[in-house]
Structure 1
Amino acid sequence: MPSTPTSSPTNETARSYTGSTDSIIDHTSQHREKVFRGFSAKYGCACLVWHELHPARHDAFIRERQIKKWNRVWKLKLIERSNPGWRDLFDDLF
């Protein structure tokens, strides 16, 4: 199932990344290992702190676009509702 991950360190001034993928484990691993140059590598987005599942790729893409339009405060609230300690959820995927 496609998912929409967001990753960010706990630091309030840090950057966050929002994207959709068919393989959250592979995608998160690529961010951790900085496989691709880009936003997540440049700003160190390597912790998975929030994600949601969608029944189809198109649904995940629509949700990703919706969240990318949000302001930072809304995104922080979304994360903190389900993960107030900003714990890295990557190991929970196994």
Structure 2
Amino acid sequence: MREGYVYIMANRKNGTLYIGVTNDLARRVEEHRSGQIEGFTKKHGCTRLVWYAHFDDLHEARLVELQMKKWKRAWKVRAIEELNKDWDDLWWQLSR
């Protein structure tokens, strides 16, 4: 069984949000931050990791990601602010 992460990237506080899933959060966030990934996050400048959750099972993480993508924006903002009130970039937690 592979572990997984659901994460939210933003371009600024209360800005554009992107929800993703990965089995290697540090690598994936670095790809977003450096612009290696074409698409939504690069187009909208979503380089700030503002929320993430770890799962022991990547399949479970994928299911949670799909659910969260259906959430109203207010629910996503609430999840972020419960963990990260100031929308700080949590990248430093991964780059130890």
Shorter-chain TM-score category? Answer: over 0.9
Alpha-carbon distance, 1:15 to partner: 1.0
Moved over 3 A (4+): none
The separation in 2 between residues aligned to 1:76 and 1:28, in whole angstroms, is 19
TM-score (norm 2): 0.92
| Identical amino acids, percent of aligned pairs | 32
Deviation at 1:70, TM superposition (A): 0.3
2:8: which partner in 1?
6
Which one-letter code corresponds to 1:24 in the other structure? L
List aligned pairs for 1:7-46, cutoff 5 A: 7-12=9-14, 14-46=15-47
Q: Which has a greater percent of strand?
A: 2
Q: How many aligned positions are there?
A: 93
Distance between the aligned counterparts of 1:9 and 1:35, measured in 2? 16
Q: Which amino acid aligns with 1:9?
A: N
Unpaired stretches in structure 1, ≥5 consecutive residues? none
What's the TM-score once normalised by structure 1's chain length? 0.94
Question: What letter matches 2:31 in structure 1?
Answer: Q
Which whole-Å deviations, capped at 9, do the CAs of 1:53-89 have from their partners, x for residues lacking one?
Answer: 0011100000000100001111000000110011111
